[in-house]
Amino acid sequence: MYEQSASRQDGSAAGAGALSPPKILCLGGTHDAQVTLQERFGDDVQIVPVTPMRALSQLGSGDYIGIYADADHFTEVIDVARLMQNERILQGMPDGVVLLDNDNTILWANGRLREWTGRDDVVGSNFYDAMGTPDILGPDFCPFHSALGTGRESASTLRCFQNRYMRVHVAPVIDKDKEHPPRHLVVTIREVTDEIVQQQKLSAIHQAGIELADLTTDEVAKMTVEERIELLRANILHCTQDVLHYDVVEIRMLDPKTRMLEPVLAVGMTPEAASRKLRAEQTGNGVTGFVAATGKSYLCEDTSEDPLYLEGAAGARSSLTVPVMLHDRVTGTLNVESPEPRAFSESDLQFLEIFARDVAIALNTLELLAAEKASTAAASVEAIHSAVALPVDDILNDAVNVMERYIGHQPDVVERLQQILRNARDIKQVIQKVGQSMAPTEAQPLSARVELRPALVGRRVLVIDTDDSVRSAAHALLERYRCIVETAHDGSEAQFMVRSLSADQHYDAIIADIRLPDMSGFDLLLKLKEMMERVPMALMTGFGYDPGHSIVKARQAGLQAVLYKPFRLDQLLETVEQLVIGTEPPTDQNS
């Protein structure tokens, strides 16, 4: 027989002993042995029979002065004693530690579980009942059964205590001889609420980011610019208010040329702040300008103490501003503010940076879809124009040829031909206006817009060349810049075209090949000088080709420019601009 006495652990236990008999735990042994033990100690000591695993929780209460066990249970007593030595460590752990039997009954638990459950004594309770009948979220939906059945560790996540999340790790207690299946489990419980909520928030932000850009070309094609901005505004507000829980938000986009930060969205900002002009500069432009200039996020913990902060929301005491990045390039800024000082944490900063990337993608998607709409419309207009440009020119050419024959003979025929000329020229104007309405400039992204050339708008240009591809290219290139282009096949036709213009019309630029079927470009220049007060003319030629020194002669006669084939678009535009300088603007310039 083995008997071990233990001193009282604290004064409270001693006080309890003064009121009731001291207690001794009796591990194992037969009923007769327990009766004999009671007779031996007498009525002054209470003998409490208990299993070895149960002894740990009983001793933890401090109400027992010792353990009695026969020789068969000596080893178990030693194991319990070792566990008792570590109990103080287990009690102070931030994780919950529980000993369960194979019915999920709690045999022992440290103080953390009692703190979570709000119960002074959880021993003897079913584990799931003590945890408030939690939802088991997996990955193992029967972790205790799995650990007992397989003899291996298992894990799962529980949702309990009003949406608190606990991760449980279950380890079976293996019998030393390994002949018997495990009957007890050691369960550690760690609260992972912050981690789970963070994951859920990341997932919600990711989903919201997908929704921001979840648009089709057809949807955007039916929207005006204002409707697209309003759609984006609604989606962003949904995410910032319902997912990130921010009520004040401002988004600005960076113009890469001017470095100005243009307002896109401002909710909760003062009117002065929303309309404030800001540039991407580190000083003098507030936190927003600093973030746009450096590409670094900025956490303003107290606006009253931050020299960079410019008032955004009325009464704001803290702000968080992050760059809107697309492919490592700053395209704008995203700013949120709070009336509370130090309202934002590093975690908030990370969330907002993630959301800002989604905002960048959404804005870029809208930009691309708008560009697709504009380019599709422009392509349609160009396709129409390319199909009719030269045929309309043919109508003009035929009309002026016929009219030359009837001038002075049949005035009514000339009148009809002049009407045909006016109608043919109107066709081009109508096509241009339709194109502008189908793909308005303000609906196009900067990358899709044609560079402004105000000097070319409304200018009438005559191109003379026998090559259809040259005449067609003149239409395609110059009409992008709202020039009025007409063409002729040879020098005589060019003269007819000049003569057919009404009194309030004239050509602002004339571009002719140096070698025409019926005359040279120099000869055409001389003939046009007889018809026009000023001939704004350029000659086209291949490099090294100048038969009879035509260019030299033409320059002496007033030729203003030479284009060498093949020429670049910028060279063509600069040449036409050079020719129109000094001419009076046409009356239809604003058309």
* CA–CA separation, 140 and 153 (whole Å): 11
Residues 71 and 121 reside in one and the same domain: no
Quick one: average pLDDT of 135-140? Answer: 90
Helices (H), 151-281: 193-212, 217-221, 225-238, 271-274
Residues 58 and 155 reside in one and the same domain: no
Q: Is the pLDDT of residue 8 over 50?
A: no
Q: Is residue 40 one of the residues assigned to a domain?
A: yes
Confidence at residue 338, expressed as pLDDT on a 0 to 100 scale = 92
Q: What CATH number has the domain bearing residue 115?
A: 3.30.450.20
pLDDT confidence bin for 444, thresholds 50/70/90: very low
Residue whose tokens read 């303003």: 300
Q: How many CB atoms lie within 10 A of CB 253?
A: 19
pLDDT confidence bin for 207, thresholds 50/70/90: low
Confidence at residue 373, expressed as pLDDT on a 0 to 100 scale = 55
Domain count, the chain: 4
Q: Which of 81-85, 224-228, 480-484 has the highest mean pLDDT?
A: 480-484
* CA–CA separation, 353 and 330 (whole Å): 12
Residues 28 and 43 reside in one and the same domain: yes
Q: What CATH number has the domain bearing residue 3?
A: 3.40.190
* CA–CA separation, 107 and 432 (whole Å): 87
* CA–CA separation, 73 and 55 (whole Å): 12
- H/E element holding 100? strand 96-101
Residues 282 and 158 reside in one and the same domain: no
Confidence at residue 353, expressed as pLDDT on a 0 to 100 scale = 86
Residues 566 and 548 reside in one and the same domain: yes
Beta pairing, strands 509-513 & 460-464: parallel
pLDDT confidence bin for 556, thresholds 50/70/90: confident
Position 395, amino acid: I
Confidence at residue 210, expressed as pLDDT on a 0 to 100 scale = 60
Confidence at residue 258, expressed as pLDDT on a 0 to 100 scale = 92
Confidence at residue 11, expressed as pLDDT on a 0 to 100 scale = 41
Find the range with the poorest average confidence among 285-294, 382-391, 558-567: 382-391
Q: What CATH number has the domain bearing residue 204?
A: 3.30.450.40
Quick one: average pLDDT of 235-252? Answer: 75
CA separation (Å) from 365 to 78, 89, 218, 228, 292? Answer: 70, 57, 13, 11, 21
* Predicted confidence (pLDDT) per residue in 210-237, tens digit: 655 555 555 555 666 566 666 666 777 7
Q: Is residue 283 one of the residues assigned to a domain?
A: yes
Residues 114 and 218 reside in one and the same domain: no
Q: Is the pLDDT of residue 559 over 60?
A: yes
- 468-478 helix and 346-406 helix, angle to the nearest 10 degrees: 130
Domain final residue pick, 133, 160, 191: 191
Q: Is residue 591 one of the residues assigned to a domain?
A: no
pLDDT confidence bin for 481, thresholds 50/70/90: confident
Please report, to the nearest 10 degrees, the dihedral formed by the alpha carbons of residues 469, 471, 477, 481 taken in order.
Answer: -170
Confidence at residue 591, expressed as pLDDT on a 0 to 100 scale = 35
* CA–CA separation, 266 and 126 (whole Å): 54
Domain final residue pick, 163, 191, 219: 191
Residues 124 and 263 reside in one and the same domain: no
Q: Is the pLDDT of residue 178 over 70?
A: no
Q: What CATH number has the domain bearing residue 524?
A: 3.40.50.2300
Using an 8 Å Cβ cutoff, are 364 and 326 in contact?
yes
Residues 146 and 50 reside in one and the same domain: no
Quick one: average pLDDT of 469-475? Answer: 86
Confidence at residue 13, expressed as pLDDT on a 0 to 100 scale = 39
Indicate the SS3 state at residue 308: coil
Q: Is residue 588 one of the residues assigned to a domain?
A: no
Q: Is residue 97 one of the residues assigned to a domain?
A: yes
Domain final residue pick, 347, 371, 395: 371
* Predicted confidence (pLDDT) per residue in 448-458, tens digit: 455 678 889 88
Q: Is residue 331 one of the residues assigned to a domain?
A: yes
Residues of the chain with pLDDT > 90, as a percent, come to: 25
* Predicted confidence (pLDDT) per residue in 371-422, tens digit: 555 556 556 656 666 667 778 888 888 888 887 877 666 777 777 777 887 7
Residues 406 and 335 reside in one and the same domain: no
Quick one: average pLDDT of 329-344? Answer: 92
* Predicted confidence (pLDDT) per residue in 493-506, tens digit: 999 999 988 888 89
Q: Is the pLDDT of residue 583 over 80?
A: no
Residues 334 and 243 reside in one and the same domain: yes
Residues of the chain with pLDDT > 70, as a percent, come to: 69
Confidence at residue 17, expressed as pLDDT on a 0 to 100 scale = 41
Confidence at residue 464, expressed as pLDDT on a 0 to 100 scale = 95
Q: Is the pLDDT of residue 99 over 80?
A: yes
Residue whose tokens read 């960048």: 360
* Predicted confidence (pLDDT) per residue in 339-363, tens digit: 999 998 888 888 888 878 877 877 7
Confidence at residue 566, expressed as pLDDT on a 0 to 100 scale = 75
Q: Is the pLDDT of residue 484 over 60?
A: yes
Quick one: average pLDDT of 27-50? Answer: 73
Domain that holds residue 4: 1-85
- Residue bearing the bigger pLDDT, 209 or 274: 274
Find the range with the poorest average confidence among 48-57, 214-223, 325-334, 467-476: 214-223
Q: Is the pLDDT of residue 194 over 60?
A: yes
Residues 404 and 493 reside in one and the same domain: yes
Q: Is residue 590 one of the residues assigned to a domain?
A: no
Confidence at residue 441, expressed as pLDDT on a 0 to 100 scale = 46
Q: How many CB atoms lie within 10 A of CB 146?
A: 18
Burial of 89 (0-12, 13-18, 19+ CB in 10 A): exposed
Q: Is residue 589 one of the residues assigned to a domain?
A: no
Confidence at residue 168, expressed as pLDDT on a 0 to 100 scale = 92
Residues 266 and 317 reside in one and the same domain: yes
Quick one: average pLDDT of 510-515? Answer: 92
**Listed residue (264, 255, 253) closest to 230, CA to CA:** 264
Give helix then strand counts, H and E, for the chain: 20, 21
